[in-house]
Each structure stands twice: as C-alpha cells, then as structure tokens.
Amino acid sequence: MFCAILAGAPVSDWRADLEKFARLTGDDPVTQGIREAARPWLARVWMEDLAAVLRNYYQRHVSFPDTLTALGKDLPESLRVDPWGQPWVYSPHAPTGFAHQFNQRYQLGTTRSPHLSLLHDAITNRRPPAAGWKITPQDIGGARALQFQSVTANSLIQPGGTVDGCVLMFAGDGWALLGGPDQLFTVTF
C-alpha cells in the first residue's frame, strides 16, 4: 500500500487499507509503528476531503468560515477530528498584503503536525531526513534488524522501531522502507 502511495496510485486504490492501518490496535512495536506511520498519510487524505467541504462553503459565502464548526452538517462526522482523535488546527487568514480580505485563505493541519504537507507535496518531495546514515543489516535472534549510525543516532532497530523520528516499516535485501512524520522514503545499504 505504501508503495502504491509513492507511485501516485489513485487514493481510492489504497484509502481503505490506510484507514485500516491507522486503526490498528495493539501495543507491539510493529503495530505501533505501522499505525503511527499511517496516520499522517490518512490525515493528508482527510485534509483533501475537508478542503472540498471548505471549497463548497466558500462558493456559497465567498469566504472561508471562522471555525470548522461553522460548517455544521456539511462537515461529515468522520472529518470532525484528525486521525489521532484530536481537533484539526484551522485558521482562516487574508492573502499576504491584503489584510482587508480576511477569510480568503486558510491553514489546516493536525494537532500533532499543524503544518503537515499536502498529499501531493509529500509524495513528490521525498528525501530521507538523514542522508548521512550508515546502515548495516544485523540478525537478532533470527530476525532482521538494521543498525543506523549517524551524527544524531546510533540505533539498532527492527521493523516497527524508530530512528531520528522515522519508523522502520520494512527491511528488505539491501533496502528499507521508512516513514517519517512528513514522508515515506526508501534507503539502500
């Protein structure tokens, strides 16, 4: 599913799986890692849905609402909170240099990441946060693990573990898939 996201597949192809991953229950590290890696991506999808509701409001009122509660029944129950169950961070504002045109733009994000990038931007602007990692595959009790060494980290983790704020999603032969708060990316070793 994450590969489909990175490949630019239509949201309808992977949305149901993403929602399932974001709702996973369990306290084991892999489950927690998958759940936490899925939630920012689900937030981006929901932000697109919420943007459509806001555009409809704008078409009727020629301004964006002061608060999301002003959307009333037009705001579906499923979009009233972010994927972590927290309120959305929403603020209308004026375009730069046009203070008298208040509520003509808005900022939308999650409580955890108020400036979360949009889905398209997150897909097209992928870069590993620590290009200086030295990654060495390891074996821990017959299970695959990776050792990450950089200026800021020296961690030995298995899938589900985190390093420099990124979740190790999958460790393959010579490559790994990681999810950071703002992107998914692969690294080779």
pLDDT per residue over 111-149, tens digit each? 988 988 888 888 887 665 556 789 999 998 888 999 999
Q: What is the CA radius of gyration of the chain?
A: 19
Cα separation values, 54 from 87, 111, 159, Å: 16, 19, 38
Task: Reduce the DSSP state of residue 118 to 3 states and report it.
Answer: coil
Tell me the sheet residues that pair with 87. none
Query: Structure pTM?
Result: 0.75
The better pLDDT of the pair 54, 171 is held by: 54
Tokens standing for 45? 């999808």
More confident residue, 76 or 94: 76
